[in-house]
Structure 1
Amino acid sequence: MNGFLATLGLAAMLLTGALGAPVAAQQPFAAAATVNGQAITNFQVQQRALFFGLLRAPGADTESATQALIDETLQNQAARAAGIALTEEELDEGMVEFAGRANLSPDQFIAALAQGGVEPETFRDFVRNGMLWRSYVQQRFGPVSRPSDAEIDRKLARGGAPGVRVLLSEIALPLTPETAGEVQALAQRLSDTITTQAGFEAAARQYSRSNTAQRGGRLDWLDLSNMAPPIAEQVLTLAPGQVSDPVNLGSFIGLFILRDLDENAPTPPAGLSIDYAEYLIPGGRTPQALEQASRLRARVDVCDDLYGVAREDRAPEGTLRRETRPVSEIPADLRQELAKLDAGEASMLLAGNGYLRFVMLCGRDANASEDAFRTLGQQLLNQRLTSYSDGYLEELRADAVITR
């Protein structure tokens, strides 16, 4: 507790110097603002700024404290209009929970705040306001925010824990023994000379043989942990707008430009497995094989359809292969293609041993525990409630009569 009190004392001295002179010149119980006719006093603003400062929280200035109190007044008005109220026991529980974050009882917490000049009612109002708004949001938006089991399953397959995802554009240059030197030279030249997103997209339309070529190589967000490790390692060294060195994955060479990076995205859970199918088409990347792959794409919607195609075409044994494997055990070139696909989507980039490999993603299996399922469900619910809360507060501000 001594460390917490020392922090409060230092913050109080700093805030007294910062806030004391302007507030002293004002009438403490005059209105700093009104919200739909309800006054917020200068004293409340001073107290809130001091309270935030002692907690080392953002908003410990007069302007921010005023805006926070305006928002809370709007929230309280909405909650009370909906008939929501707190009992003394519920408020006490809220204060116990908040003070417990500093390993203090409410009485100890209030005493510590008092040393910094914060009144007990300021603490009580802050806790009460937050609890009222949470209750209102849960009552109003809870029923439409709760995710279904199917949504949680899909999200678990994509990931549930904080991680990294990237927004890339790609150029994929297929490799064969006959063209290896020429393709490697082209990849290096493109890497050395492309300096803009527009230049990269033009090169992708001209040279890339991936499904993304016609849209300039643009990919949707990809989980870094799903990508082939050689590509992930390259991407992490890039700043937005930079082009990677050529990445040789055996069946093709890839170039990538980083468009954006999100370090707070979900990442696939441990144990993620990929269910995929490969249909081998003779001829490698010849025009005839590519045309046959395009016709195959038109005949199938899901992986199970490939079995019917193999029977109808009397395909030789080994033409169709379907496997479910952990991500870590999938070869780098195949792993990279699967990372870009959703269930039912296909790639016609890969080739080898004289065959074009028609690759289709059948599904992802997270094998998640019950605890992981429940935890992610709560996270999704909280995210949606926050979104609804923020949006509705904007509506309340737009409709309110606020003077300052």
Structure 2
Amino acid sequence: MNVKTKLSDCLRPLALGALLLCATAHAEVKPLDRVVAIVDNDVIMQSQLDRRLAEVQQNLAKRSGELPPREALAPQVLERLIVENLQLQIGERSGIRIADEELNQALATIAQRNNLTLDQFRAALARDGLSYDEAREQVRRELIISRARQRRVAERIQVSEQEVQNFLASDLGKLQLSEEFRLANILIPLSEGASPQAIQEAERQAREIHAQLQRGADFARLAAARSASENALEGGEIGWRKAAQLPPPFDTMIGALGVGEVSEPVRTPAGFIMLKLLDKRGGEQGVLREEVHVRHILLKPSEIRSDEQTRQLAERLYQRLRAGEDFAALAKSFSEDPGSALNGGDLNWIDPNALVPEFRAVMADSRIGELSQPFRSPFGWHVLEVLDRRTSDASGEAREQQALNLLRNRKYDEELQNWLRQIRDEAYVEIRL
């Protein structure tokens, strides 16, 4: 028996029942759910699209207060659902399963931490427009997608010793301890083997968007409405990056941007990309410095998994670690930091000044060998363990490890986008929006 239960499978008998009722009663006619996209062996329903649209509009309203029109946003949201659906299918074909006991335990922990019984918790979810079963499904989907990405993307990234040495000898390598940049992007996509006409049209669109931005248009709103990047519905924001983590030519041009400025559209294999510099930090390091050998597990909230659900998952992992489970094994399975997850969450020796204040403060208060309580940073929820402390001159092994982490992150970002584009191009998708 197939244990996979799809939303569409659940809705079909309901739709049939509604049709039968309509044949005998006319007191009230309600619109039926319908398929808006066929995605390989699965479907996306109008109800799924409507729920995600409502979530995205709520998040965008909190960010900028100005929303793109629904007709512009709906195709963007549907495209995100399609790509998520493909990753779920890949994960399930790969044998990734999230046990019911794990999901039930996570939701029971959420209820307990909020001093609620299970019935009270169900009622609280209903007030927020989310059923208990929907909450379980959100957690399950997020876990499957994360693990599918790690299997298909992160695990095949290899960085050779020669690549590390070449990087350290390069101009970018020498600047690895310099500034970090908080960035957002807009991508106008190009398919592989695009025709000259398609390239010309994509460039025209990119130039048009850039001109709007130069006239003061809101970057986050345009990203949500027009960008094909995976982070479009987050206003295009991709977080903090060092120049070395960016693909050429952005690695060399980012330093010339001022905070708030947007780069000219640049042609890349994925399409035409514009970057906006939201903020920057760092750039001053001494020769001798205190370093901490630390490892962590990072969990990121998303449209699918709320901040509270993410906190409770971090709490559950913390309890499992306290019970004696292996830190490295849990980090490889759960951590969403691509630079350290494959290394068991190990950040190796790191300068505390290179970390966000929240992480740095918890790390400073932790004794060697002590497991921290779950805590929040701008990146998400963490659990960390300090393994050792030392004074270093930022050379030798520490510099090589930093270069290795940077190269892994850089390759992961590029490979993830390539993989997502590949699975989308190879999939059978029929849109009925």
Return the TM-score normalized by structure 2: 0.36
| Rg larger for | 1
